[in-house]
Structure 1
Amino acid sequence: MAFGQWIRRIAAGLLVGTMATPLAAQTPEPPIWVIEDDNSTIYMIGTVHMMRDGVDWESPQLAEILGRADSVWLELDSFDPPENLFGLIMASGMSPDRPLSSLLDDEEMSGLQTILDEHGVPLDSFDGLRPWYAYLQISALMLVEAGFDPQGGIDMHIKDRADELGIPVMGFETFEEQFETLSGMDEEVQLDVLRQTIIEYEDAKTELVDELESWIDGDLTTLKAETAEIAHELEGFYEVLFVERNQGFADGIEDILSGKGTALVAVGLGHYVGPDSIPEILEERGYTVERR
C-alpha cells in the first residue's frame, strides 16, 4: 500500500470508524472552499481516503465542479506504488538493529501483541519495523477490520471521474516525498504516534464516526476539536504532517492561481481545519477564501 494510501487515510483524525448506526438519508453537503482571482477559480474539497460501501458522501456540487474543471489536483497524481517500493521499505521502514521490543515498555508491547494476535500477525514479523511503519500497519489493520476498502477512497473516486472526463490529474507531492516525510520524523515523534495508536486502538474504531457524519453534513466542529487535540498531544507529528505540508499545498494553490481556468483541489480533510489549515494560510497571504 502506497504512503498516499497509508498516511492520508490513517493519520491525525482522518480515521473513520465502524458504523454503529446508519447515516441519515439526506443530501450530502460536505464543505467546499473557493478562491478566485481575475482569471482563475479553485474549488477545494477535503477527502476521506478510505470509505465504506454504502456511505453517501458525494454532493451534487462536486459533479458540477468536475463538469467544468480544467484540471484536478490531488496529493498524488497516481495511486500506483513506485517500482522501488520494496527498496524504500527496506531502507526506511525496517530497523532490525533497533527492534520495537527495545523501544517500547512491557505494557506497550503487550498492547501491540494483543492487536496483532487479533489479526493473526506474528509479533516477530513486526518487531523489526521502524515505529512509523509499524504505526501505519496497525492503523491499516484497524480500518480493514472496521470494514473499510483500501480501494474505496474519495480521492480515487475523483481521479477515476477525472480520467473518464479527460481532465488532467496532477499531484502536489510525489510518493518519495511523502515516504520521506514519515520516515524522516524524529524517532521519538514516531514512537509517540505508535504508542498513542496502540493505546487508542479500540476507541478509534468508533469515536471518529462522528467526524465522518459531521463532515458529510457540512459540520467541521468535531474534526476541528480532534485536530486541536492532535496538535496539543502530538506536536511534532502535527508540525510535520500538517503545518509543513499545508504550507506546501498553499504554495501549490498560489501557483495554480497564477495561471487561468478552473481547478479542483482535493486533499485530506484534516488539511482544511484549524489555525494552520490551507484556508487560514491562504487568507494570511491576502487571499479571500469563501466556504460554500
Structure 2
Amino acid sequence: MMICKLLSGAALAAFALAAPAAAQTADAAPAAATTRDADPALWVVKDDDTTIYLFGTVHVLKPGLSWFDDAVKQAFDASDELVLEIRQPDGKAMQKLMLQYGLDPEQAPLSETLPEGLGARYLKAMAGIGIPQAAADRFEPWFAATLLSVAPLQKLGYDPVNGPEAVLTAAAEAAKKKLGALETPEQQLGYLDSLSDEAQIAFLTSTLEDMDEAQAMMDAMVDRWSSGDPQALGKLLNDELTDSPELQKILLTDRNANWADWIDTRLDTPGTVFVAVGAGHLAGEGSVQEQLAAHDLIAARIDY
C-alpha cells in the first residue's frame, strides 16, 4: 500500500517526515549531479470563461528531475490561482496533529494485536527509524503504516522539499498568485483515522511486508510519473488496492468524486486555475477524470 499512500495523501508524506524521530534516522542521499527530463501528465477542463488545469504529483521526490517546464510551466504561468490538496501547516502544528490523530494511549499495545510473527518485526522496524517500543505501541495502525512507508524514503533521497507541492507553492507565492486547497490536513488524517480496525491492521501488515521493496516500488512509481504514463501508474495503484476496497473508497474514490464536484462548481467562476493533486487521483478506475464525466465534463490530455 506504499504507492497508494504516497500518491494519494499530501498530508501523509509531510506529516511522517516531520516526525522528529523519523527525521533523524539517516542522512538524506546526496543531491543528484545531473538533471533528468520529466514530462508528467497534464489535463485541462474548460468552458467559455474558465480554464482548470489538472496536474498529478508525487509528494516526495529526489532532486534532479526537470518537471517544472514546458507545458506544465506554461499552464502554471497562465493561471491566476494554485489549488493543492492541502495547505501545509508549520512543523509544530503538523506534529501536534500527528499526536492528536495518530496516537491512542488507551489502546492495547499495537505489537500485541498484529498477526502472529509480525509484532516483533513491527517493533524492529520502528526501532530502525528511531522510535522506541513505548511510543510505537501507542500508534494507531494506520499511522504506524504511514511512518514506516515514508520515513525511510529520506535515506533514499526522497523529500517533500523536492516535491511539486513545495516547488509550486514557492512559485505561486513569488508570483503573488492566489493559493487554495481542496481539503484540510485534519480532513486527510481523518480519512485514515476513520478506517475500521480490520482495515488498519491489514494496512500495517501489507506495509511491513513491502518494506524491503520500498526503493524499487518508489523508483518504479516515479519512472511512470516522469514519463507521463497514467495508465501504467493506474495499474500500479489498482494492483495495490485490489485487496483493500475500504481503503480505495475512503482514500481515493470518494475524494475524487468530491473534487469533481468542486471542479464543476469552480467552472461557474471565470478565471484560470492550476490544480495539483496526487497522481493516483488522476489514474486508474474512479479517477477524477472519470468522475468528471458524470458531470458531462471532459478532461482533455495536453500533449507536449
Query: Under TM normalisation by the shorter chain, which class is it?
Result: 0.7 to 0.9
**Structure 2 partner of 1:166:** 176
Change (3 A) 1:171 1:82: farther
Q: Does residue 109 in structure 1 map to residue 137 in structure 2?
A: no
> Residue by residue, what CA displacement relative to the aligned partner does 1:49-90 show, whole Å, maximum 9, x if unpaired?
111122333231122112211111101133436748526624
**Structure 2 partner of 1:190:** 200
**Structure 1 partner of 2:212:** 202
**Structure 1 partner of 2:190:** 180
Q: Does residue 32 in structure 1 map to residue 38 in structure 2?
A: no
**Structure 1 partner of 2:245:** 235
When the two structures are aligned, how many residues end up with a matched partner? 281
**Structure 2 partner of 1:5:** 11
> Residue by residue, what CA displacement relative to the aligned partner does 1:173-232 show, whole Å, maximum 9, x if unpaired?
112211211211111111111110000001122123122112211122331111111231
Q: Which moved more, 1:167-176 or 1:140-149?
A: 140-149
Q: Does residue 276 in structure 1 map to residue 286 in structure 2?
A: yes
CA distance in 2, matches of 1:266, 1:205: 24
Runs of 5+ consecutive residues of structure 1 not aligned to the other structure: 11-17
Question: What is the deviation of 1:134?
Answer: 0.9
Q: Does residue 254 in structure 1 map to residue 280 in structure 2?
A: no
| Contact 1:246 1:276 (C-alpha < 8 Å) held by counterparts | yes
Q: Which moved more, 1:278-287 or 1:206-215?
A: 206-215
CA distance in 1, matches of 2:188, 2:161: 19
Q: Which moved more, 1:115-124 or 1:181-190?
A: 115-124
Change (3 A) 1:9 1:215: farther
Of all paired residues, the percent bearing the same amino acid is: 25
CA distance in 1, matches of 2:224, 2:15: 17
| Contact 2:37 2:65 (C-alpha < 8 Å) held by counterparts | no
CA distance in 2, matches of 1:262, 1:36: 9
Q: Which moved more, 1:99-108 or 1:170-179?
A: 99-108
Runs of 5+ consecutive residues of structure 2 not aligned to the other structure: 1-8, 17-27
Change (3 A) 1:272 1:255: same
Give the secondary-structure state (helix, strand or coil) at the position aligned to 1:214. Answer: helix
Give the secondary-structure state (helix, strand or coil) at the position aligned to 1:199. Answer: helix
**Structure 2 partner of 1:44:** 54
> Residue by residue, what CA displacement relative to the aligned partner does 1:106-142 show, whole Å, maximum 9, x if unpaired?
4111321332343343223201111011111111222
| Contact 2:11 2:88 (C-alpha < 8 Å) held by counterparts | no
